[in-house]
Each structure stands twice: as C-alpha cells, then as structure tokens.
Amino acid sequence: MIMAFDIEKLIQRFVSGADTSIEAAGEIEVALDNLFLGDDYVQQTVEMLAMYRPEGGRFLFNTAAITHRLIETLDYVKKTNRA
C-alpha cells in the first residue's frame, strides 16, 4: 500500500517535471483516492487527475493546471497533518 510519504515523492516528481506522463498522474490519482477517500478537497484533485492530458483539451486539464493543483494539494495535506 502506498503511504503518504510515497505520495509526496510521486507529486514532487510530477511537479519537478521529471515525469508528467498520464501514467504518473494515474498513479498519484489512485494513491490519493486510496488514502483520502473522505476528503472533498483531495477528491476534487483526484477528479482533475482523471481528466489530465499533458496537452490539455476541451474538458481536460493540461500539465500546468495539474502541477499547480498538485502543489496546492500537497500543501493542503501537510497543513491538515495527513501527510
């Protein structure tokens, strides 16, 4: 099972630009969904990750939008002492 520390590493890898693939976003999505099932804010991030495509598109989120949201989500999780 992925732990909160692992999620932080996955997010940092994405936001650094080291791996912004759809697969990386999917791994973050599943990890967040599993650990933060009852948290509305994190679940909104999960939904955004499900609609991620690097180039974006109609009704999709691009790399810049997801990077911004993941930074905010990581801060949120740390502030709520859940990381």
pLDDT over 90 (residue 51): yes
pLDDT over 80 (residue 83): no
Average pLDDT, the chain: 93
Confidence (pTM): 0.90
Instruction: Give the C-alpha separation, 53 to 5, whole Å.
Output: 25
Instruction: Give the C-alpha separation, 16 to 35, whole Å.
Output: 23
User: What pLDDT, on a 0 to 100 scale, did the predictor assign at position 5?
Assistant: 72
- Going by pLDDT thresholds of 50, 70 and 90, the confidence category of residue 80 is confident
Find, among 69, 70, 71, 52, the residue nearest to 61 by Cα: 52
Alpha carbon 46 to its chain centroid, in Å, reads: 6
Domain that holds residue 75: 4-79
State the total domains in the chain. Answer: 1
- Going by pLDDT thresholds of 50, 70 and 90, the confidence category of residue 19 is very high
